[in-house]
Every structure is written in C-alpha cells, then in structure tokens.
Amino acid sequence: MSTTMTSSGSSAAGGFRAPVTDQEWSKIGKWGGLCVLALVLVSLIGMPVGLDRRILIHPVLSLGYLSLLWIPLVMGSVVSRHIELEGVESPEPGGRELLAGALTGLIGGAGMAVFILALDNFNLRDPLVNWSPQLLELLTYGRGIGFGALAWILACVLLGLVGSAIHVVPAGLRRVVSHSFFGLLTFAVLEGAISDLSEGFGLEFLTDSIYAKRGGLTVVWSIVLAVLIGGVSMLTKGRLKAAKADYGALQGPERKRASRILFVSVALMTIILPLFLGTIMNELLANVGLFLLLALGLNIVVGLAGILDLGYVAFFAVGGYTTAVLTSPDSPFFAPELHFAVTLVIVVVFAGIVGLVIGAPVIRMRGDYLAIVTLGFGEIIRLLFMSDWLKPYFGGAQGITNVPGVDLGFVVIKGTDPRSVFYLVLVFCALAIYISWRLQASRLGRAWMAIREDEKVAEAMGINTVNAKLLAFVVGAVLASFSGAVMVAKVGSVFPNSFMILVSIIILVVVIVGGMGNIAGVLVGSFVLIGILGGPRQPGLLHEFQSFKLLIYGALLVYMMLQRPEGLVPSARRSQELHQEEFLQDVWLKGEEHEQEEHEAELHAAEAGGSEPDEGSGS
Amino acid sequence: MAGRVSDGAIHHFAGGSRLTATIERKSARQVSKVDRFLTLIRVFLVTLIVVGILAFIAQQVAPENPFARWRNPDAVGLTGDQFKGLLMSGLSQGAMYGLIALGYSMVYGVLGFINFAHGEVFMAGAMTGFIASDKFSQTGMWESNFLLSLAIIIILAIMVSTLTAVLMERVAYRPLRESPRLIPLITSIGVSFFIQNAVMGVFGPSTKSYPQLPQWLSKQRSILTFEIAGTKLLVLLVAAVSMGGLWYLVERTKTGKAMRAVAEDKEIAALMGINVNRTIVTTFAVGGAMAGIAGILWGLLFRSVTHMTGFLPGIKAFTAAVVGGIGNLPGAMIGGISLGSAESIAPLVILEPLGVPGVSQLKDAVAFTVLVLVLLFKPSGLFGEQLSAEDRA
C-alpha cells in the first residue's frame, strides 16, 4: 500500500507523467515472474492436457487452453492496477498502464517459450509426470516449436494488454465487455444444464444450434450471444440497481408483499424446474442440496458463533451411521429396520448428544486449539467406524449396505430417482434455511454474534457464553446429521471413507467463499462451488475438474482470506467488522487533510531540515 | 484483568449488587454443569488408562491371571524384547515428530497462530529427498557413496523446505499479520490443501519408494541390551544433532536473541532495532529446515512418501508441540518423543489388555486422544507454554 502511495504521489507531484520508475519496473518484473511461474505450474499439474477435452467454443477454445490463458490476462490487469486511496490523487490511467500489461505478458510469454523449448529438448518425465509429448503438442498447437513459442509470446502480450486495458477504457465499455465475456463463459460452462433444461421444455433445436456436436458453443453463436448479452447489459444499465434500491425503499406492508411475491416465485421455480431436468442434473442438484444443508449448519457454528469446527464431518457421519444402523436389514449388530421418519427423530437426538459430548470439552479452549481438537475428533470418529474393534457394530471398512430408501407410501425416495431425492433435500434445506433465518435475529443469534466478536465482552454483557456455544454446536450437529441421513438413504450404503476430513474442509470453503454468517452467501457458495466444481466425490458441472478441484478449493480459500475475507455475498455486519481498519483509515485520512495545512505551516515555521514527518505512519 | 473490569462495569451500570450476584450465581451454576461433565470425562479416561495398565501388568505377571483374562481371554503379554522394540520405534518416530513440532512451536511463539501447512513443508522435504535419492540410485552413487549422497539429499531437502516455508510466509501470512488469529489459520488450511494437490498434480498420486538402504546401515545393532535397527539409530542421532544446533542458534547467537525478543514482544523488539520482518522470515526458515530434516528421516525410516505424507505427521507434530507446551522448544522435542512412544506403546499396553481387537489401527486415534487429554488436564503443556506478551493476556 505504501509503495503505491509514494509512486502515485511522486508522479502526481511532477504534474506530467514521469518515465517508468524503478518501482514500476520491479512491479512488472514481479508480476511477470509470477505469470511465468503460474503458467509453468498449471502446465505441469496437467490442467491443459486434462481439461482439453472439455470444449468451450467449438474449434477455438477448450477449457485446457483457458486454464492457461486467464493467467496473463489477470496478471496484466493486476500489474496496471492502482489502489485508490482516499485523499491521494491517483493519476489518470493511460499508455503507461498498457505498456506495463504488455510487458508483463511479454515476460510470461517468453517464459512459456523457454518452457516449450525445454519440453522439446529434455526429458524430465521421471519425477514430473505431466512432462509429456501431449503437453508439447498442445502447447505448440501441433505446428512445431517455433510457431508455438511465437504464438505464446504474442498471445500473452495481447492478453496482458487486454488485461491492463480494463483500467484504461471507460467504465461503461468495461462493464459491457466484461458482462458479455462472463455471460459467454457462463453459457459455455453451464452447457450441460442448459441443454438438459431445453430438452425438458422440448426446445432441443435451440441448443442443438447453439452448441456444437462435440460440445462447446459454435463460433457463430458465441459471437451472437456475446453481442446479445452486451446489448442486454447496455439496455439494463443501472436498471437492476434501481430496482434493488426501489425494493429497499419499500416500507411496511408493501415491502412485505413484495418480498412475499419474491419468495413465492423463487420457491415455485425450485419446485417446478427439476421436473424439466434430466437425471444427471437432478443428481447434481441433490448433491448441491446435501452440501447446502451441511454448509448451513457450519454457517451457524463458524459464521454466527465464530467457532472454527474442523471436525464438522463427525456429525455428518453420526447422522449417516445412525440412519444406516436403524433402517438397513444388513446392519451387523442391531437392525430394527425402522422407518426413515422414526429414524430421523432418533438421529436428531443422537446428533444433539454427540454435539454436546464433543462440544463440552472443547468450548473453553482457545479458538485455534479448538479447531485442531475438533479436527482430531472428526478423525477419531472415522477411525473408530473403520476399526476392527467396532466392526461388529458398524461393519468396519466395508460399512453398512442395503439401506432402504425413504418410503412415503405413494413413492419410495431412492438414489436411482434423483428427482425425488432432490425434493426430499429441498424440504430439509427449506427447514434449515428457516431455522437459520429465525435464529439469526433471535436472542440466541445475537448472543452468538456477540461471542464471535469478543467473548469476554459478551460474557460481561450477561450472555451465558458456555450455553450459547454449546447450543451452536448442537444446532450445527443436527443440521449436519440431517444431511448425513438423507445422503445415506440416497446412496443406499455408508462407508467410513465418505467422512474424511476433506469433507469438513470443503464445507468450510463453501461457507467462506459464499460469505460467512450470511444465508444467501452460503446458498451462492454451495451452488457455485458444489454445482460447478463438485463435492469431495461428487462431480459438478465441470466434471473434468475432478482431479484438480481440491487444488482449486485450496487456492480459493487462500485467495478469499487474503482478498475478500467477507465472501462473495458478505453479511453486512461481518464485512463492517472485517474492514474496520480501512474504515478507520478513511476517517483518519479525511482528518489528515485538515491537519496537513497546520502541519505544513508548522514545518515552514520551524525550517528544521532532516526530521521527516512521521515516516512509519503507513504501517 | 479485563474480566474484572467489565464485572465492575456491570456492577456500576446495574446500580446494585443483586443483579451482579444473580449473574454470577447463574453463570457459576451453568459452568459447573459443563465442569461436572468434564470431570466425568477426566475420571473416565484416567480409569481407562489405569485399568488398562493394571490389566497389562497382570498379563505380564501371569497370562492365566483372571484379571488379565477378564477383558482379553487370549492375553499373551509382551516379551521384554518386544517392548523394547516398540519403545525404540516410538522414540525414533517421536524424534521426527519433535523436529516437525519445533516449526509449529516457533511460529506459534512468534506469530501466535497455528501454521497448519507446516506438515506440507515436511512433505516437501521428504519428496525432495525421494527425487534426489532416486536419481542418485539410478546413477549408482547411492550405493557407491551412500554417506555423501545422504548429505546431499539432506541439504537439498533443507533448501526446498526452507524455501517452501519462507514463500508461504511471504505470500499467505505476511498480509494477514494483524488480523484475528483464526484468519491465518484458515488461510494455512488452504495453503496446505493447495500444496498437497499441487504436488500430487506435478509428481503424480502414486506412492514413491526411497531406494534400498545399504545393509551396514539398516542391520540390527544392539546397544545397552536394546536391539535397534541402524536406521532408527541414525534418525535419533540426526534429530539430536539438529536439536543441538537449533538450541545453539536460539540461545547463543544474535539471530536467536532477536527471535526470542520478537516472540516476547514484536513492537518493543522493533524499537530495540530488530528487523521484525526478517526475524519472522528466519523463524519460518529455521522451522522449515527442521521439517526438511524430518522429511529425510521419514524417508529413511518408512521409505515411502506420497503427497499426503505431511497431513497426519503434521497434526501429530502439532499435538507434540501442545504436549510440550507451545512456544517451548525443548518442550516440543520432548513432547514429540513422548507422543511417539505413547502412540507406539499405548495400543498394546492399554488397549490390547482391555480386549480391543486390531489395536494397531487405532494408533492415530491414540495420538488425537493424547491431544484431548493434555488439553483437558494441562492446556499449557507439560513444560509450560512460552507465548508472547500479547497472547498471554
């Protein structure tokens, strides 16, 4: 931050654009180097080859190429970005930014060219499994080394330019272009869902022309779509915001009516839409629902009460195993073969007890110790289910199979009919959302949020922190156990290895990316992450990502924590808290302006050279 | 301190002692419920351990003993050599945990957060060791000049692990230095995930085996009636030397002094002219180097490494750091050794006499139970934690 301040300060002070400073050179070098590193790493991880089969725009662009091409674009954009600070005049972006972007791209492209040469001349296949002829073929477009190297340099420079141009072109144009780009990408990514939906409505002819036979948009249609989306974006400019503001401005009964209409239409959509979707899409929706249920539970524990529970999967396991033992005829020790509805009551009780038992020893620990201990509990529970010791009760590593579906009298909900599973999950999700929503504003919810911010102060305000935290554990456990119960009924079997720590962490990523402490955020997080990338075992829309999704989850978690800890859809209160410092800084800077004049006057009066006024104020 | 002040505030605002008293009584009653439950857990666990050990002793005295037969009808007991063997493998594994634990402990001492990705630093060392030793064995150098190649792979592993740790600090943790402590913890989980899967992508998901060790090293030796494989001896030796080196660095050099000062209080250290940023990087680097050495030792001991190698040892090493008292370096080492021995001995000494079948599967569960036990009985660890002034408050 301080570097930007000084660089923009110095160039603004001169009145004209100074030549590129050393600082800017080093910035270009840094991001260019990062660009090379990222390109090589992505290539060596095997993304280009592994994702090449997924075509986005028919003969032109595959997901494999996209996995590389976004890098120079983003780096070009980052290198030419200026952080705008209140009270500091930032220079008008222009040719210098474009130059920086192009140079960053050039470094990236040159690195790629060197990499291609190395691929051609050395064989490092032994430790590096993806150092393969296929990669070389892909990177050179199968047209020889020289062509490939030149093409990469050119492409990267171009993309770097485009990336930096984002800051240079007027805001309106930027908006339209980015809308049509992301819209196009959405169309390409959602190909499966869209063609499935249109098939359901009997509109195959439309998608058949939009999408090529081997998958991916056709070139003609992608241009048409881009123009269409751009046009729509231009027409609706500002309308959406205005509509939102109108809605926000509504008062009393009118607002109630409006939100009721909104709610009913959304509910109708979620009920009707699956009828027109095929098996695969319904399966996907059911998985999203299961993870949404888990995420809603974790949102209460982490998002509201601020307890980082890394062993959340334990409750999922308890729900799953309880259901399996009570309903399956193959349960090895005790097989009452109860009905799902009866089981559910027992599951709730059990999950609550386990929540208390795990919660009680840990709630007084420091937050970070608690995280590791709960992680330990999650792992202990999985190891116990897997051990020979409890094999007579839970079937060991073979688990319990033959779990019947949910018999509702007129229909049996089973994994073979994902649509019915989706409706079952929907019921639970609706319940969970209702519970979360009611709890949020309740006395208990406010107590949780107070504890999240400062436990000592919360206690001083008369909140019984021990009880409140235990309750958070219990509510979270019950929601997770619902998810476990439905999952077992859906899959028809239960194995200890479905309850790896991985599941906890993926749910944590969903909650954090979506927006901790916000129901809408959790909804968005589940749909975007589980829907597109997929769960720990469940494939998403981009099922080619299967072997890379954990990598992406990890990177996303780091990125979100560094850049946007409040998530995609932030809860208003939480983002205020997270950005408190920036807020204070803004206030301070505004105050500074007034002080500055006095300060300068003082300095002039003193005329004492050498003593530089507060140098360390930036840190 | 803060608690007392706010109690006073309540008192003042309520304008009467009755409300305060009610709150106190109420919270005292509620807390005691949880406390009673915790006491129950403590008593249960202690009883379990005591009964297990008694049954083990009964079993050792005479396997026909009715007490030994009570839970485990086919009790046979352990021979002295078996016990010593268990102890030795526990010790050597524990020494490794101790080396990794140093990194957790130092980072916690300085920055006050758990670097969850430290296990991955260890894995990076083990992976580097595999790649280098595999190349050496292909060229025949591994056999012809084992000691030199071992030295080279240790140095390489230290370099890679140090680099990993330093990069991690620079990219992921430095921007978060002032944020609440859960934020860097969550970030480190992401870092850990990312490194694991990047390594899997680049080097493949298969299990990689270190080349065969020379016969003169791996053969059994007997020292003071203890039969011990030469490899384990080497592990113990290397761990002891590294620990000695670290002790010298921290206690006797200027860098070490700076590290201790920064751990005590960053701001005041900065006022004393210490470059806090550089010292923190040094801390990460030293922790990384220790983890790199541990990685090679892991490779020698188990001769196999995958991208997941860092996960469990990482968590166990954290446990070791907590057992010894976080921030306390000798504590971390002793904690590691005790955890390693407990993990190796407890299943056979406590669980087997209680009639639990398949006890070796529960090794990891034992390690986690040790963590819970320590935090229930003595959260500050066996040898006391050494935290910064700010964290102690």
pLDDT band for position A273 (50/70/90)? confident
Pick the range with the lowest mean pLDDT from A76-80, A86-90, A477-481, B383-387: A86-90
Contact A41 B26 (CB under 8 A): no
Residue in A45, A379, A457 closest to B364 by CB: A379
Based on the fold, state whether residues A48 and A131 are members of the same structural domain. Answer: yes
Residue in A closest to B26 by C-alpha: A464
Average pLDDT score, chain B:
84
pLDDT band for position A599 (50/70/90)? low
Nearest CA distance, A173 vs chain B (angstrom): 33
Tell whether A445 is covered by a domain: yes
Tell whether A585 is covered by a domain: no
pLDDT at site B19: 54
Tell whether B204 is covered by a domain: yes
Based on the fold, state whether residues B96 and B243 are members of the same structural domain. Answer: yes
Structural domain for B45, as ranges: 20-77
Global ipTM: 0.85
- What is the Cα–Cα distance from B274 to B268, expressed in whole angstroms? 9
Tell whether A2 is covered by a domain: yes
Q: Provide CB contacts within 8 A for B122, sequence distance 6+.
A: B100, B161, B291, B292, B294, B295, B298, B309, B310, B313, B314, B317
pLDDT for B177-233, tens place per residue? Answer: 888 878 899 999 999 999 999 999 999 888 999 888 888 877 777 777 777 788 888
Based on the fold, state whether residues B330 and B264 are members of the same structural domain. Answer: yes
For A533, which DSSP code? I
Residue in B198, B202, B319 closest to A128 by CB: B202
**Highest mean pLDDT of the ranges A26-30, A55-59, A334-338:** A26-30
Higher pLDDT, A529 or A598: A529
Nearest CA distance, B351 vs chain A (angstrom): 10
Among A179, A476, A88, A151, CA closest to A313? A476
Based on the fold, state whether residues B385 and B284 are members of the same structural domain. Answer: yes
- Say if CB B188 and CB B117 are below 8 A apart: yes
- What is the Cα–Cα distance from A535 to A570, expressed in whole angstroms? 23
Nearest CA distance, A355 vs chain B (angstrom): 13
Q: Which three-class secondary structure string do you get for B50-93?
A: HHHHHHHHHHHHCCCCHHHHHHCCCCCCCCHHHHHHHHHHHHHH
pLDDT band for position A506 (50/70/90)? very high
Which value, to the nearest 10 degrees, does the dihedral of the CA atoms of residues B270, B273, B279, B281 take? 80
- What is the Cα–Cα distance from A444 to A453, expressed in whole angstroms? 14
Among B174, B336, B161, CA closest to B243? B336
- Say if CB A351 and CB A481 are below 8 A apart: yes
Identify all chain A residues contacting B2, using CB atoms and an 8 Å cutoff: 456
- Say if CB A130 and CB A41 are below 8 A apart: no
Contact B179 A565 (CB under 8 A): yes
Based on the fold, state whether residues B24 and B161 are members of the same structural domain. Answer: no
Report whether pLDDT(A544) > 90.
no
Contact B357 A565 (CB under 8 A): no
Based on the fold, state whether residues A113 and A159 are members of the same structural domain. Answer: yes
- Number of domains composing chain B: 2
Identify all chain B residues contacting A555, using CB atoms and an 8 Å cutoff: 190, 194
Identify all chain A residues contacting B313, using CB atoms and an 8 Å cutoff: none
Nearest CA distance, B349 vs chain A (angstrom): 16
Contact B196 A548 (CB under 8 A): no
Identify all chain B residues contacting A298, using CB atoms and an 8 Å cutoff: none
Q: Provide CB contacts within 8 A for B331, sequence distance 6+.
A: B105, B321, B323, B324, B325, B381, B382, B383, B384
- What is the Cα–Cα distance from A458 to A413, expressed in whole angstroms? 45
Report whether pLDDT(B247) > 80.
yes
The angle subtended at Cα A112 by Cα A106 and Cα A115, nearest 5°, is 145
Contact A561 B379 (CB under 8 A): no
Among A115, A90, A242, CA closest to A167? A90
Tell whether B102 is covered by a domain: yes
Among A294, A216, A124, CA closest to A544? A216
Contact A386 B361 (CB under 8 A): yes
- Say if CB A317 and CB A503 are below 8 A apart: no
Q: Which amino acid is at B315?
A: I
Based on the fold, state whether residues B104 and B252 are members of the same structural domain. Answer: yes
Residue in A closest to B19 by C-alpha: A462
pLDDT at site A581: 67
- Say if CB A76 and CB A109 are below 8 A apart: no
Residue in B closest to A380 by C-alpha: B365
Strands (E), B286-393: 304-305
Based on the fold, state whether residues A203 and A75 are members of the same structural domain. Answer: no
Based on the fold, state whether residues A213 and A158 are members of the same structural domain. Answer: no
Based on the fold, state whether residues A394 and A368 are members of the same structural domain. Answer: yes
Residue in A384, A391, A557 closest to B193 by CB: A557
Token pair, residue A570, equals 């932030």
Contact B372 A373 (CB under 8 A): yes
pLDDT at site A183: 87
- What is the Cα–Cα distance from A508 to A293, expressed in whole angstroms? 13
- Of A491, A508, A525, which closes a domain? A508
pLDDT at site B8: 40
- Say if CB B3 and CB A460 are below 8 A apart: yes
Based on the fold, state whether residues B24 and B96 are members of the same structural domain. Answer: no
Tell whether B98 is covered by a domain: yes
- Of B77, B94, B126, which closes a domain? B77
For chain B, the helix, strand and coil percentages under 3-state DSSP, each to the nearest 5: 80, 5, 20
Nearest CA distance, A362 vs chain B (angstrom): 9
- Say if CB A554 and CB B191 are below 8 A apart: yes
Residue in A44, A548, A558 closest to B172 by CB: A558
Residue in B7, B185, B197 closest to A460 by CB: B7
Pick the range with the lowest mean pLDDT from A110-114, A153-157, A275-279, A312-316: A275-279
Contact A459 B6 (CB under 8 A): yes
Task: Classify A128 as helix, strand or coil.
Answer: coil
For chains A and B, CB pairs below 8 A equal 174
Q: Which of B368, B374, B376, B387 has the highest number of chain A CBs within 10 A, making it the mutation to test binding with A?
A: B368
How many other C-beta atoms are found inside a 10 Å radius of the C-beta of residue A395?
25
Task: Classify A518 as helix, strand or coil.
Answer: coil
Q: Are strands B220-223 and A412-413 parallel, antiparallel or unpaired?
A: unpaired
Report whether pLDDT(A326) > 50.
yes
Report whether pLDDT(B27) > 70.
no
Identify all chain B residues contacting A46, using CB atoms and an 8 Å cutoff: 201
pLDDT for A31-63, tens place per residue? Answer: 899 999 999 999 999 888 888 888 888 777 888
Tell whether B13 is covered by a domain: no
pLDDT at site A505: 92
Based on the fold, state whether residues B61 and B98 are members of the same structural domain. Answer: no
Give how far Cα A181 sits from Cα of A130, A194, A208, A216, A529, Å: 30, 18, 22, 15, 20
- Number of domains composing chain A: 3
pLDDT at site A291: 94
pLDDT band for position B20 (50/70/90)? low
Token pair, residue A459, equals 């206690």
Based on the fold, state whether residues B49 and B143 are members of the same structural domain. Answer: no
pLDDT for B147-180, tens place per residue? Answer: 899 999 999 999 999 999 999 999 899 988 888 8
Task: Classify B301 as helix, strand or coil.
Answer: helix
pLDDT band for position A4 (50/70/90)? very low
pLDDT at site A100: 87
Residue in B187, B202, B356 closest to A562 by CB: B187
Tell whether A523 is covered by a domain: no
**Highest mean pLDDT of the ranges A195-209, B93-107, B340-354:** B93-107
Based on the fold, state whether residues A160 and A184 are members of the same structural domain. Answer: no
Higher pLDDT, A314 or A242: A314
Residue in A306, A389, A509 closest to B356 by CB: A389
Q: What percent of chain B has pLDDT over 90?
A: 36
Based on the fold, state whether residues A161 and A185 are members of the same structural domain. Answer: no
pLDDT for A432-464, tens place per residue? Answer: 999 999 998 899 999 999 998 888 899 898 888
Based on the fold, state whether residues B31 and B111 are members of the same structural domain. Answer: no
- Of A459, A481, A508, which closes a domain? A508
Residue in B27, B187, B358 closest to A464 by CB: B27
Contact A561 B315 (CB under 8 A): no
Give how far Cα A229 sits from Cα of A177, A193, A220, A446, A515, Å: 9, 19, 14, 42, 28
Q: What CATH number has the domain bearing residue B119?
A: 1.10.3470
Tell whether B4 is covered by a domain: no
Mean pLDDT, range A181-196, rounded to an integer: 85
Mean pLDDT, range B247-251, rounded to an integer: 91
Burial zone of B255 (CB within 10 Å; 0-12 exposed, 13-18 middle, 19+ buried): middle
Based on the fold, state whether residues A150 and A196 are members of the same structural domain. Answer: no
Tell whether A603 is covered by a domain: no
Report whether pLDDT(A330) > 70.
yes
Based on the fold, state whether residues B61 and B163 are members of the same structural domain. Answer: no
Mean pLDDT, range A401-411, rounded to an integer: 82
- Of B77, B93, B114, which closes a domain? B77
Pick the range with the lowest mean pLDDT from A156-170, A586-600, B309-323: A586-600
- What is the Cα–Cα distance from A587 to A593, expressed in whole angstroms? 10
Tell whether A519 is covered by a domain: no
Average pLDDT score, chain A:
83
Token pair, residue B81, equals 């050599």
Based on the fold, state whether residues A9 and A114 are members of the same structural domain. Answer: yes
Residue in B closest to A50 by C-alpha: B201
How many other C-beta atoms are found inside a 10 Å radius of the C-beta of residue B37?
14
Which value, to the nearest 10 degrees, does the dihedral of the CA atoms of residues A341, A346, A348, A353 take? 180
Mean pLDDT, range B15-24, rounded to an integer: 52
pLDDT at site B275: 92
Based on the fold, state whether residues A485 and A355 are members of the same structural domain. Answer: yes
Residue in B6, B38, B181 closest to A460 by CB: B6
Q: Which amino acid is at A372?
A: I
Token pair, residue A546, equals 């299967």
pLDDT for A74-120, tens place per residue? Answer: 988 888 887 666 666 666 777 778 888 888 999 999 999 999 999 88
Nearest CA distance, A388 vs chain B (angstrom): 5
Contact B201 A547 (CB under 8 A): yes
Buried-exposed string B290-326: b where 16+ CB fall within 10 A, e elsewhere: bbbbbbbbbbbbebebbbebbbebbbbbbbbbbbbbb
Residue in A closest to B112 by C-alpha: A368
- What is the Cα–Cα distance from A281 to B236, expressed in whole angstroms? 56
Identify all chain A residues contacting B193, using CB atoms and an 8 Å cutoff: 505, 550-551, 553-554, 557
Pick the range with the lowest mean pLDDT from B9-13, B29-33, B87-91, B308-312: B9-13
Left, alpha or beta for A395 (phi > 0: left; psi -120 to 50: alpha)? left
Identify all chain A residues contacting B182, using CB atoms and an 8 Å cutoff: 306, 308, 367-368, 371
pLDDT at site A270: 85
Q: Which of B26, B193, B361 has the highest number of chain A CBs within 10 A, making it the mutation to test binding with A?
A: B193
Tell whether B215 is covered by a domain: yes
Residue in A388, A466, A554 closest to B197 by CB: A554
Identify all chain B residues contacting A45, using CB atoms and an 8 Å cutoff: 198, 201-202
Residue in B41, B185, B190 closest to A554 by CB: B190
How many other C-beta atoms are found inside a 10 Å radius of the C-beta of residue A56?
22
Structural domain for A395, as ranges: 281-508
Contact B3 A127 (CB under 8 A): no
Higher pLDDT, A175 or B157: B157
Token pair, residue B129, equals 């060791």
Name the β-bridge partners of A580: none
Residue in B175, B194, B202 closest to A554 by CB: B194
Tell whether B31 is covered by a domain: yes
Contact A547 B372 (CB under 8 A): no
Based on the fold, state whether residues A353 and A489 are members of the same structural domain. Answer: yes
Tell whether B3 is covered by a domain: no
Based on the fold, state whether residues A299 and A335 are members of the same structural domain. Answer: yes
Based on the fold, state whether residues B250 and B322 are members of the same structural domain. Answer: yes
Report whether pLDDT(B98) > 70.
yes
Identify all chain B residues contacting A473, using CB atoms and an 8 Å cutoff: none
Mean pLDDT, range B343-371, rounded to an integer: 82
Pick the range with the lowest mean pLDDT from A64-73, A136-145, B225-234, B253-262: B225-234
Nearest CA distance, B172 vs chain A (angstrom): 7
Contact A562 B175 (CB under 8 A): yes
Report whether pLDDT(B100) > 90.
yes
Identify all chain B residues contacting A460, using CB atoms and an 8 Å cutoff: 3, 6-7, 9-10
pLDDT at site A5: 42
Residue in A closest to B8 by C-alpha: A460
Mean pLDDT, range A348-376, rounded to an integer: 89
- Backbone angles phi and psi of A62, in degrees to 5: -110, 165
How many other C-beta atoms are found inside a 10 Å radius of the C-beta of residue A182?
12
pLDDT at site A7: 42
Based on the fold, state whether residues B123 and B214 are members of the same structural domain. Answer: yes
